[in-house]
Amino acid sequence: MKNKLYLIVLVCLIGVEALFAQSTVPGKVTTSWIGNTWGGDIGERHAMNWINTFAVDKDGTVFCSSYWEEGGKEFGIYKDGKDLGRLENGHGSADGGAIAVNGNAVWVSVHQKAIRKYSKLTKAPTGLEFTVGRQVNGLAAQGEKLFVATDGKDEIGVYDTEGKLHSSFSAHHPGKLAADKRGNVWMIEWPFSNKLYCYNPSGAKIKEINLGQNVKAAAIGYSEAKDLLVIANYDINSQQVFVYGNLATNPVRKRTLGVKGGIYSGTPGLIKPLKLNHPYNVGMDDQGIIYVDGFGLYPDYHADGMNRSDGFGSHLKAFDQSDKLKWEIICTSFVDMAAIDPRSDGSTAYSKHERFDLDLSKTVAGTEWTYKAFTVDKKNYPEDLRWNNKGHQSTVWIRYINDKKMLYVGDMYCTGLRIYRFEGEIAVPAGWVGRDKIWIDKNGNGKEEKEETESHTHHPPDSWALWPDENGNIWSAKQEGPIYFWKLNGLNQYGNPHYKLSDVQTFARPEEFRSVQRVRYDNKNDRMYIGGWKKGTKYADEWWGIIGDQIIAYDGWLKGNKNKKYALDLKYDINSKIPLGEVSFAYAGDYLFVVGSRTRARTLVYNNLDGSFKGEILPGEEIGGVDKTGWIDVRDGVDAYLRSTGEYLILVEEDYMGKVIMYRWKP
């Protein structure tokens, strides 16, 4: 019997392994990740890219809503730190406006003008969906009533559970709503408010409470069992949650959750459980547990009223009545890359907003990383483009200049490089190189000023080639023109990198290329890697971001020798309507790593001495294999680092399940 059981288990294990294609490189490869509580395995468990709003059920189940979630989890469900899946939904209907739960029903705003009813038990739509004509800002359900606040309309509609409008009452700019056990409706104005309003079941305003100075109430929640109201204060000087009681008579603040000043208190940016980061969603269950989500989410309200806040991540926390953290789920990544700090030997990584500690002694996938710091300081540097995420900042590099650590950040469309110096955990804007302008912070205030900018022509609109080398020099190229070398001229008195347009050097495009799409310069070996299209190759300009059909490594580039060390032929599909080809490459130690767009997280590995192909690295079962990874959506979607132990860390962008893949390879 024992032998039979062993055989059954062995056959099952072989069957599971056969589900996933295996890496073909020599040595040992394991798949891990950074930046998400879960890796998106067979069950597609992952923390949502971001949460626009949520509702907390009596038992502590958190029903979330987001206008977009790359993995299709716009309506994610979490409880006790576990991923319970999602309400059934297809891309395109979610709008992130409002959500409410009552009894066995979950009500969700969809299509920017309608409300859909779900069964809490089956997670499926009940078939009831009715229009309210406008974007929904707030929902609350009590008994047989559904209260609806819509954008641009100074009233709250009262519907029954069949979607029929029975009445409405006046309310100024109604936003988030909560209904109490007496049938009263509590409201804050849209999008932020320093007042709390209460309306009785007949729609008469019976209370108006001034919440005080430095209050920007972003969300409210209610616990029927505790008869308490919770308010998320988004204000940058507070970043706390207020708990109000005595609701039936004279409401008073009974408790405050979180350290005043939030993420910027104490050591600014350093992560601590009670240092909330711009709390934007809040709720309370029947046990008095408070649920709060905030990740520096920037409310981006468009003319149609839709909240298209995105790109920062989600950080859902649950606190008990003693303010102790019970559990948390985290997603820091959406179309994001990470980079290893080159002086950390793999123990520290950065993404555009975050610093992570990596404990590489751990061997369970996804357990190596710890979220340690949020590096954006909205309070002192409100114009930091990482905050409003214009252009979708995504790729990062850590460079050391005169022993000073610098963060270089690129965007999804290769429009420029943002440069930051560090003050403690905060990355302070120091300059940028854009399509037609360069800015260097000359007075140290971290703010772009007109007299600090200059015009240039060295990174034209059609260019996908922009790269900061290890010494802080910048390389760019015109597709069918020259290659430019922006030599670093040290740091100015404020510690900001300085580049002179008069010092920019020009190199002729190598004769092997019709078009240059990528440049990477290795300072240590004076080696230039160029990716692009061969002469005579037919390609479409709309194939944005594809490397091309070749990568060539040249030795002695700055010495003037330009000896071709090796050339790699890259595959592409000229008949594909959607780009099919390689999009990113990185070098480290003895190897060159290449990833494609539609081939997802598959990574090709080449010998960096002669260009010979060594095999593929493929996502393992730890994250559900290749099919559970997304297309590479950024032009610098792979990076690599060689540790002193001989282990390679290969990082790959993966937004389908909201993380950065980390392959660990020991050849």
**341, 344, 346, 351 alpha-carbon torsion, rounded to 10°:** -30
Between the CA of residue 389 and those of 314, 335, 353, 418, 505, what are the distances in Å? 15, 12, 11, 12, 31
Mean confidence (pLDDT) of the chain: 92
Sign of the CA dihedral running 521, 356, 260, 140: positive
pLDDT tens readout for residues 305-348? 455 555 578 999 999 999 999 999 999 998 999 999 999 999 99
User: Taking 60 as the threshold, does the pLDDT of residue 31 lie above it?
Assistant: yes
pLDDT for 578 equals 63
| Cα separation, 409 vs 317, whole angstroms | 29
pTM attached to this predicted model: 0.94
The pLDDT confidence band at residue 538, using thresholds 50, 70 and 90, is confident
> Which pLDDT score is estimated for 540?
61
pLDDT at 541: 58
Pair 228, 288: CB distance under 8 Å: yes
Strand partners, 65: 53
Parallel/antiparallel/unpaired status of strands 638-642 and 453-455:
unpaired
Check: CB of residue 501 under 8 Å from CB of residue 432.
Answer: no
pLDDT at position 11: 30
The CATH H-level superfamily of 53-331 is TolB, C-terminal domain (2.120.10.30)
Identify whether the C-beta of residue 554 lies closer than 8 Å to the C-beta of residue 527: yes
Contact 534, 549 (CB under 8 A): yes
For residues 229, 76, 597 and 553, what is the CA-based torsion angle, rounded to 10 degrees? Answer: 50
pLDDT interval class at 300 (50, 70, 90): low
CB atoms near residue 563 (< 10 Å): 11
What distances in angstroms separate CA 665 from CA 17, 28, 617, one per listed residue? 19, 6, 9
Q: Rounded to the nearest 10 degrees, how much is the dihedral formed by the CA atoms of 192, 193, 194, 196? A: -140
Give how far Cα 636 sits from Cα of 61, 78, 163, Å: 38, 33, 48
End-to-end CA separation in angstroms for the chain = 40
**Cα–Cα distance measured from residue 454 to residue 524, given in angstroms and rounded to the nearest whole number:** 31
Amino acid found at 310: D
Per-residue confidence (pLDDT) for residue 297, from 0 to 100? 61
Percent of the chain with pLDDT over 70: 93
**Dihedral of the alpha carbons of 257, 258, 262, 268, in degrees to the nearest 10:** 180
Please report, for the chain, the start and end positions of each structural domain, with discontinuous segments joined by +. 53-331
Quick check: helix, strand or coil at residue 189?
strand
Local structure of residue 492 (DSSP, 8 states): -
Q: What is the maximum alpha-carbon separation in the chain?
A: 85
